[in-house]
Amino acid sequence: MRITLLKLPLTPRNRLWFAAAVALWVTLVYGLVGQWSLHLSPRTLPLSRIDRWVPFWPDSFWVYASIYLVYALSCILQRELKTFRVFLYAYSLAYVGSALFFLAYPTTFPRQLFPVTVSDTASLGAQGLSWFRTFDHPTNCLPSMHVASVTMAALPFYGQKRKTFVAFAVWGTAIAVSTLTTKQHYVIDVVAGSLYGWVCYRGAHWLFSHDPSLHTSLNSEPRSPRAS
């Protein structure tokens, strides 16, 4: 089975440019769908006992916002083109699929129950969360793409670099918890996001597993001869 039409012309030199393009594209898709969801009467889900038990902690916003650094570091540390290609397609697949689901079943979180009080003495976390909420709408809750993203960012290292995988897993868990402490998501969003990220990554891996030409290491780039 050949999947030539789906191949990205990745090289060790341009891989980060592709990663930046994918990040920009999925951010645009996510933002547009968030705007459209506002006009689709999004559903407010019931707060579970865990949702009520988890405290509102605005200072955890900085952990929540570190999702962008997780993506960047995952891209930088991945050393094989095959794995990197799978990762980028998994990421794209996840956001396209979630966009369709958000439009079909839009949900929203009752942030009005957890207002952010900003004053001259407010912490930087509270100020950051307040600023973030001015343009980030409370829609597109289920599944949590924050959690799906950190799941996909960690999986490329599973079975290859144990310490790196553990570090990303711990960091991703902290981000997943922060989606609750910043009152951006329900518990069910976190669970669904983790499963969704895993399914998308495994789906992309299965899609490419039949093409032997994708087994290319970044270390296989031919080196240019040194000047004598």
Q: Give the pTM.
A: 0.84
d(CA 88, CA 23): 9
CA 84 from chain centre, in angstroms, equals 15
Give the residue with greater pLDDT, 115 vs 31.
115
Q: Is 225 helix (H, G, I), strand (E, B) or coil?
A: coil
Does 227 have pLDDT greater than 60?
Answer: no
Q: Helices 162-181 and 67-77 sit at what angle, rounded to 10 degrees?
A: 170
Give the per-residue pLDDT at 34: 74
Q: Is 22 helix (H, G, I), strand (E, B) or coil?
A: helix
- How large a percentage of the chain has pLDDT more than 90? 48
Q: What is the pLDDT of residues 42-53, one digit of tens each?
A: 899 999 999 999
Buried (b) or exposed (e) across 85-122, using 16+ Cβ within 10 A? bbbbbbbbbbbebbbebbeeebbbbeeeeeebeeeeee
- Using omega within 30 degrees of 0 as the cis cutoff, is the peptide bond preceding 55 cis? no
**Is residue 153 within 8 Å of 70, Cβ to Cβ?**
yes
Give the residue with greater pLDDT, 98 vs 219.
98
E-strand ranges in 76-215 read 107-108
Stretch (H or E) spanning 109: none
Query: What mean pLDDT is reported for the chain?
Result: 84
**Is residue 16 within 8 Å of 73, Cβ to Cβ?**
no
Looking up tokens 């865990």 gives 50
Structure tokens at 50: 């865990």
Structure tokens at 111: 């942030």
d(CA 85, CA 163): 22
Q: What is the pLDDT of residues 89-107, one digit of tens each?
A: 999 889 999 999 998 898 9
Burial (CB count within 10 angstroms: exposed 0-12, middle 13-18, buried 19+), residue 205: middle
Beta bridge partners of 217: 80
DSSP state of 136: S
